[in-house]
Amino acid sequence: MDFLKRVYGAAQNAVQSFTNPYKIQEVNSKNYDNSSLVCKEDLFALYKMGKTYDAIVRFPEQTDKAFSLFRLEKEMDALSQFTNLQEKLNPLVMSSHSVLQKDQLQELIDCLRENPTWSCAHLATQLGLKNSLRHPSVLCFINSADPKTGLAPIHLAVKSNMTDLVKELVVCQAQTSLIDALGNTAYHYAAVTNRDIIRILATRDIAKVVNTCNGEGETPLHIAALHNKDECLDELLIHGADPMLTNSYRFPIHCATKNSNIKCIEILVKRCPNQLTMQDTKYGGAPIHWAKTKETVALLADLGCDTNARNFSGDTPLHIMIQRKRVECIVELLSRGADANAIGYQGNTLLHLALLTEDVDVVRSIIVFGCDVNAANSFGVMPRHIAANSSSKSRDALVYCLHMVGALRCREGMQGCSDGCKSDGKNDGKPDGKPAPPPDEPVMLHEEMLRDALEGTASFNAWHTSIDLKQKAGLRVLSLDGGGIRGLVLIQILLAIEQAAGKPIREMFDWFAGTSTGGILALAILHGKTLRYTMGLYFRLKSQVFVGGRPYNSEKFESFLKQEFGENTKMTDVTEPKVMVTGVLADRHPAELHLFRNYVSPRKAAQSPSTSKPTVDTNNFEPVKGPHEQPVWRAARCTGAAPTYFRAMGRFLDGGLIANNPTLDLLTEIWEYNMALKFLNQESKMRPLGLVVSLGTGRIPVTPVSNCDVFRPGGPIDLVKLGFGAQALTNLLIDQATQAEGRVVDRCRAWCAMVNIPFFRFSPQLSDDISLDATEDTILCRMLWDTQVYLYQNREKINHLARVLTSLDGGRKNEGIMEWKQAVC
């Protein structure tokens, strides 16, 4: 049996020797006594055994035990390998006999074959032979460099992320200033490992090697930023790394931005704010030009980076994002205040570049943020000309997208025109999906008559003052519906009104009312936030708050509101114009509508101790805080506490459950306010209504409902019908509870018509049913494009409203002059 085992082992070794001549084999040194010795160095020997040359290493204590290192047929190859092998391995064997293990030797042989120019110190480092490094025979090679790669042992240790070995090498006087063939120091390799290794290297960094540039002209900071190693980057900065130093075309901040590393950007800007304005030397791009994600754009904008910065070609970040078709970055930049009408190279507007991408989503994203669809470039080329002459499949969709928002055809005589852009052409394009909703039909005869009556400012002033010249100027009131993220529609409409009137919305209205998203918007306007800013606010809200599944994290929502409005800002901190925001007190049955105000409620004012007895709450409900105690952020949170979307705010739920369209509640509030003033003998402070403007968040498409019947099922089929019917009935109840269109608007219009008050209602028909928590930018841009189409179709109505607003404002000026004259007399 032993004989068979030996035969099998010999056969196996023979096969392995043939297939892998470098496989380590344990042998008996006596087997080589009758072989020809070619050469011998210490424990290493090379023998010729038949047709092969066999290199072995003996155990110093055990003369019989040895390892066969390789078996080669060619003498020159064997001599070359043996010489290199014994020169590199002998110092390691001398330093520690623990190297003489089969697995250890195999690793050494394999490593040396892959890197034949490495020294024994390289091998010891690569295999983690820490105890061998201090031996004199190895220590003398501690700073040796590989002649091909220039790598020194310190580079290998750092690259392998072996902290203990790096520490040992530093103790052994390994130089941190050594550079490899690519110009990298140990710091360049440490930049992608961990901060502990950087600390160890810093103990020996006398000549500030940390700021050495490699062959690419980049410092270790560049490398850390490129590889998203924020901790390493921070540690490098602690130990003197200079973020303003580079011999390449970019700075560390550009590398961090390119890789969308939020933490690296924050660390760099915190330690060196000038990084935000650094331009790369090749293109002249600021960090924000290099951004690839909306999160990076948002961070850089928050840190103060100029969203309209220009590179050497005169292009803004928007120009770059459009060329790269980064819709999310485009929307983020525009929502952060980037100029939608910025002109770049050769006078091209953003819309020109967007059309060249032949991407309808990119084009829509530019249009909805207010770009001029009729601006020509330096060659007199209009946007519609580019769209109409596109060779892509999306040509008709691009033309349609422009045509529906008022893009003009080319002037007569323009060369190279097609039917989609020439002055007498007929082609207006085709939609790529659902067409834009058709224009609204006239809603009521009263509205048409009112438009005629308001055709001129002078005629309206005469109408307004015909009853009593001494009457106070009429109140201009604005009501904003609820609708979640569709509050963007409200902002789009307000921007159109603001542009037509040439004045900020805050200065054109005396009283605001809002529900849910409309309430938050009303509070934002009250506290001086511009409409462009609030648009960015909504995009930030959906990115920061609408994260994960419903219900969303209420704490994030509350933190967001506190940041925007201030944690301690009270409702009465800003008293003009007046504002009321709806909420629902849900801690009682039936639930009650509550109005958050920046003034004392009419009923409270009329119930002052001097005029009436104090009321007693027999139900023992805790009284709601008054306006002077109510934080603004809390009022915003209460009005936006939509069930299933957010947790209730204490006892409050979303005001949309009772008053999703708060117009009638606003009119009632004003009537009660005037009655309270009359009751308190303060009739001189009473103000009549002058104008009512009601804005909706869009009308969703009407779709058929197959079944809304709820009944006792008589079988399996009836059970299925019951399920569909119950769902339809549930949707019906929710829709009616939160109704903001239809008869709700008709009642408001009729109310105003009966008392001769101008009433304007704007609410676009949407192509799709947009959910309250929609977050996808392409969907939101389509919604805003529908709104822009609606505004273009109703531009005359918008201009009429602007004239009414300015005429009422003129009435205020006349009233002021009259009161001044009375005072003088």
Tally Cβ neighbours within 10 Å of residue 712. 6
Give the burial string for 315-324 (b: 16+ CB within 10 Å, else e). Answer: bbbbbbbbee
- pLDDT tens, position by position, 283-324: 999 999 999 999 999 999 999 999 999 999 889 999 999 999
pLDDT above 90: residue 517:
yes
- The answer on pLDDT for 235 being more than 90 is yes
Q: What is the pLDDT of residues 73-93, one digit of tens each?
A: 888 888 888 888 888 888 888
Q: What is the structure's pLDDT at 193?
A: 94
CA neighbor of 185 nearest in space, from 164, 225, 158: 158
Q: Which of 370-374, 451-455, 745-749, 802-806 has the lowest mean pLDDT?
A: 451-455
- pLDDT at 496 exceeding the cut of 70: yes
Q: In 402-495, at which residue ranges do the beta strands (DSSP E only) sit?
A: 475-480
| Residues shown for the chain | 825
What per-residue confidence (pLDDT) applies to 149?
A: 93
Mean pLDDT of 105-122: 88
**What interhelical angle do 230-238 and 262-271 show, nearest 10?**
20
Q: Which domains does the chain have, with CATH numbers?
A: 1-114 (no CATH), 344-433 (1.25.40.20), 445-605+627-703+714-808 (3.40.1090.10)
Tokens in use for 190? 């440490």
820 pLDDT band, cuts 50/70/90, is: very low
Q: With 60 as the cut, is the pLDDT of residue 431 above it?
A: yes
Measured between alpha carbons, how far is residue 361 from residues 322, 333, 675, 744, 780 in Å? 11, 15, 52, 35, 10
Average pLDDT over residues 729-747: 63
The pLDDT of residue 13 is 52
Among 85-94, 333-342, 386-395, whose mean pLDDT is lowest? 85-94
Q: How far is Cα 313 from Cα 284, in angstroms, rounded to an integer?
A: 8
Radius of gyration, alpha carbons of the chain:
40
For residue range 524-563, list pLDDT tens digits in order: 999 999 999 999 899 999 989 998 888 899 999 999 999 9
pLDDT at 470 over 80: no
Identify whether the C-beta of residue 44 lies closer than 8 Å to the C-beta of residue 90: yes
Check residue 731 and give its pLDDT. 54
Active site residue 392: no
State the pLDDT at residue 441: 55
pLDDT band at 460 (very low <50, low <70, confident <90, very high): very low
Q: Looking at residue 824, what is its pLDDT?
A: 29
Predicted TM-score of the model (pTM): 0.79
* pLDDT given for residue 748 in this prediction: 84
Q: How many percent of the chain have pLDDT more than 90? A: 47
Which is more confidently placed, 483 or 621? Answer: 483
For residues 220 and 290, give the distance between their C-alpha atoms in angstroms, rounded to a whole number: 20
What confidence tens digit (pLDDT) does each residue in 683-711 have? 888 888 889 999 999 987 766 656 555 55
Identify the active-site residue in 654, 665, 777, 786. 654
Dihedral of alpha carbons 235, 239, 240, 245, sign: negative
What's the token pair of residue 342? 């910025």
Higher pLDDT, 16 or 258: 258
pLDDT for residue 624 is more than 90: no
Question: Residue 139 and residue 435: Cα distance in Å, rounded?
Answer: 79
Residues 6+ apart with CB under 8 A from 734: none
Helices (H) and strands (E) in the chain, counts: 34, 12
In what helix (H) or strand (E) does residue 206 lie, and over which residues does it extend?
A: none
Give residue 333's pLDDT band: very low, low, confident or very high (50, 70, 90).
Answer: very high
Q: Report the C-alpha gap between 792 and 771 in whole angstroms.
A: 24
- What is the reported pLDDT for 684? 80
* Over residues 430-458, mean pLDDT: 57
Lowest mean pLDDT among 299-308, 435-444, 810-819: 810-819
Specify the pLDDT at position 754. 85
Of 307, 251, 258, the residue nearest 281 (C-alpha): 251
The pLDDT score that the predictor gives to residue 444 is 42
- State mean pLDDT over 629-647: 89
Note if 617 is an active site residue. Answer: no
220's tokens: 């270790």
| Candidate ranges 66-70, 106-110, 795-799; pick with highest mean pLDDT | 795-799
- Contacts of residue 717, Cβ cutoff 8 Å, sequence gap at least 6: none
Catalytic residue among 119, 260, 479, 516, which?
Answer: 516
